[in-house]
Amino acid sequence: MQACILRSPAPIETNPLELADIPKPVPTGHQALVRVSACGICRTDLHVIEGELPPRKSPITPGHQVVGVIEAAGDQAKAHPIGARVGIAWLHSTDGSCEYCKAGKENLCDHPTFTGYTVDGGYAEYALAEESFLYAIPEGFADLEAAPLLCAGIIGFRSLRLSGIKSGGRLGLYGFGAAGHIVAQVALWQGREIYAFTRKGDTPAQDFARELGATWTGASDELPDAVLDAAIIYAPVGELVPLALRAVRKGGRVVCAGIHMSDIPSIPYHLLWEERQLVSVANLTRQDGLDFLKIVPKVGIRTQTTAFPLFQANEVIDKLRNGEILGAAVLKP
């Protein structure tokens, strides 16, 4: 089969992903072999490729927003029939026995595995998954449109929950890409107001946010025309933390939603004072995925996607880093 292989971390502009022919994996035990139809590109993939997340497997095939069809299964796999359309997300497996798993916090598992990071992912024609970590894809979504739901959607949903924002509240979204444009639709459906912050001069993203119903759009270093009740930071830029704290009200909350972020600069205490809170999102739980995918048809979410072939992976990820992708980019084997 064909797969994008990362042999060692390197800057994306050096084209570190190599399209290679490798053996098709064979499922065992509770594994399912999924024939990949689409795999969304996530900024976390860039962090894996460039080594900002320390290498855990080499070589590795990135990609953790996978939609495909089960083609074969291990001898103990019985949860999904052959031919079922399923999704594979970032959380590949957990130990199920640590204190966090027992407390229903499997996103904090002591011994997890992650798709496209510690095990091979979906930048390939086939991928393996643990059957209990697969998701049924909502009807009405083509493979291409469904792919961003598996990370941008689920992590966006978890971060929205952690924001604690109530109906009628004003929510700031710093970074309006794959996750931002999905969570905005959920938040608006729930009765929140959206304030979208983008790179300076990113008119297409700001126009897109207004089309989806944002009340206000502007550059990340601007103050909106109203005080925010909460903010979520999707861009992996530590300098946004004090800017977001500055924009939220007393008692407001800022959620850092990325798995990696550049260093947070010194924060003047007055920005944190008055009981403002700064929290992070770590991974996801299967329940997050089930809850999110259950409401997707009710919300009427529509994902903005652009498809690319596997051989363009390096080029497309570079475009993503430079903010040249509107919505989400998806690879199609």
The answer to whether residues 120 and 42 belong to one domain is: yes
The answer to whether residues 145 and 57 belong to one domain is: yes
**What's the average model confidence in pLDDT over 165-171?**
95
Domain extent for 48: 2-150+284-332
pLDDT band at 173 (very low <50, low <70, confident <90, very high): very high
The total number of residues written for the chain in this structure: 333
What pLDDT, in 10s, does the model give residues 130-149?
999 999 999 889 999 999 99
Instruction: State the distance between the two ends of the chain, measured CA to CA, in whole angstroms.
Output: 10
Distance between CA 188 and CA 21 in Å, rounded? Answer: 45
pLDDT in the model for residue 296: 96
Joined together, the tokens standing for residue 253 give 């909350």
**What's the average model confidence in pLDDT over 10-25?**
97
The answer to whether residues 65 and 134 belong to one domain is: yes
What pLDDT, in 10s, does the model give residues 79-129?
899 999 999 999 999 999 999 999 999 999 999 999 999 999 999 999 999
pLDDT band at 326 (very low <50, low <70, confident <90, very high): very high
CATH of the domain at 307: 3.90.180.10
Distance of CA 151 to the CA centre of its chain: 3
Distance between CA 308 and CA 163 in Å, rounded? Answer: 33
Average pLDDT over all residues of the chain: 96
pLDDT at 201 over 90: no
Distance between CA 146 and CA 38 in Å, rounded? Answer: 8
Q: How many CA atoms lie within 13 A of 151 on its CB side?
A: 33
pLDDT at 215 over 90: yes
- Radius of gyration, alpha carbons of the chain: 19
CATH of the domain at 251: 3.40.50.720
The domain tally of the chain equals 2
The answer to whether residues 257 and 162 belong to one domain is: yes
**What's the average model confidence in pLDDT over 64-93?**
96
Q: Is 101:94 a contact under the CB 8 Å cutoff?
A: yes
Choosing from 245, 261, 280, the residue where a domain stops is 280
The answer to whether residues 254 and 308 belong to one domain is: no
| Strand, coil or helix: 187 | helix
The answer to whether residues 61 and 134 belong to one domain is: yes
